[in-house]
Each structure stands twice: as structure tokens, then as C-alpha cells.
Amino acid sequence: MVRVNTPSTVYVIGATGQLGSALLASRAVPAGVRVVGLGSSDVDITTIASVRSALADLHGGDVVINAAAFTDVDGAETSREAAYAVNADGPANLAAATAAARAHLIHVSTDYVFGPAASGSRPWASPLEPSDLRDDAQPDTVYGASKLAGERAMFAADPNGVVVRTAWVFTGRAPVRDFVTTMRRLEGERDELTVVDDQRGSPTYAPDLAGGLWELVARMLAGRSHGGSVLHATNAGEATWCDLARAVFTILGADPERVKPCSTEQFPRPAPRPPYSVLSAKSWEHAGLTPLRDWRDALRNALVAPTSG
């Protein structure tokens, strides 16, 4: 176990969201750390005055985890200003606060910073490394572009911040509305359903990601610097949306063949999705952090016996 050198406060921004809730419920919170959850009613990260007020007691040695985001991928296409306010201005404002206090900042980002160009001409490419971001990240959605802008704005304001990219986050149980909970509901409502089978990514269980972030926090508080890093944190393995849906059915004891594959062209959405956005775990492991378990094991945990990470 990593030992924390001094008592510190960790501020979880976006505390009422899927990841924020998992962070607050996690059993992996380092001993002696005080956790303060801040939701949208507590702080408006789009305005620097609100951030300064909410983090007025922030001091060196504290940590801010930014789990807040405008995550409506399709809605962002018509709400560009709102998406950039939360996903780009928000991280910049938080970074200004942590830089001034000499506190630590962990900003959670997304695989959507990679657009179709990341896969080249190949349908399935190699897992994407963090180095790909600064040179090759070419998001073709407002959501992805706003998140990439947020990463860059964060580093501009606080070069010692850390970006942690993740993907396809699920909890698997109500009241959270995610892909897994949707498949769980539809299994009981429909004889058959059709799911996209030509988009491949990294399913990630929110409690597992929360546990990984708390490990990162503990290492930072113990003096192990990760400042300026871009890390990828997802459950191990990869899947298409159809693979994930069939796995849900299998774990629930239903026939996975009831889930029929289709192409992206057959299921058009306002915002294009990356055909391949599997994130490599190498950066996470090279930082000395524990790899997250296989997504299939995490999914079973989510559907059968969910526990805090």
C-alpha cells in the first residue's frame, strides 16, 4: 500500500455523475484523506469566480479530480458553446486554481479525442498510446474536439496536471443510464435487438476506474510525481458494442444470438463515432499503476454482484 505523507483533501468535481459517484463510494480511498464531493449545484466550473469560491481552502498537497463533463455526444453537435464551456473552459479554470495553490489536478478525458484518422485505413488498428494524442488526435465531433481542447487548456494553465483518458464507461445498474443498463432493460422487453458491430473500444467499469484513480491519488500524495502525464485507464480487452451487448445477455442467462449485428451506416447518429478507439494500458502500467481487470470480469461483477472499487 502506498502511504500518504501528509493529511490532504481530495475534491471530486462532478460528484453526482457516474464516475464521481463511483469515486465517492469507492473503498479504495486512501486512509487519512478527506474527500469533498462537489456537484454542479456546488460549483460552476465554467466560471473562474465559482471555481475560486468552491476551492477557497485548496492548498499545496491537496488533489482535485475533475470528473465533470458535457457527455452528450450527439447533443454537443448542436450545443457547441455549452460543450466547450464545460469540457474546455472548465478544466482551464480548475487548472488555474490548482496551479495557484500548488495542488495536484487529475483531469478525466476520453477516447473520443481520437477520430477515424487514428485508425488509418485499417478497420482494426493497434491500441492507441497517449503519444498519439498530441500528434495524431483528430476528433471529428464537437464532443471530442471540446475534450481535446480541455486537455490542452489544462496543461497550459497547470503543466503539472495529469490527464487520464478512459472509454465506454458503464455502471450497469439503475439509476445510471448507460449502455449496459439499457441492454439489461431491453433484454426483458424485446425478443431481438440490433446493435452496431463495427465500432471497437474499451469497455470500462466505473468502480474499477475509480479504484485506479484513487491509486493514482495515493501515489501523488506520497510524492511520486506524475505531473505533465497523459495516461490511459480502461478495463483490459476490447469489444464492439455488439460484443458488449451479447456479453450482457450471456451473463443474464439469455441467448446472446438475440442480439443481431449491424453496421454504423445502418444506425446513423448525429455525431460520428470512432471506428476504433481501443486505448493502450502501457502508459498506466509504465507509471507503476495496477492494470484494470478484463472488462468481461468487471461486467459480470456489475450485473451479478456489484461492489465498490
Catalytic residue positions, numbered: 143
In 3D, which of 123, 247, 266, 111 has the Cα closest to residue 183? Answer: 247
CB atoms within 10 A of CB 122: 9
**What distance in Å separates the CA atoms of residue 98 and residue 266, rounded to the nearest whole number?**
46
* Cell numbers placing 76: 454537443
The backbone torsions φ and ψ at residue 182, rounded to the nearest 5 degrees and listed phi first, read -65, -45
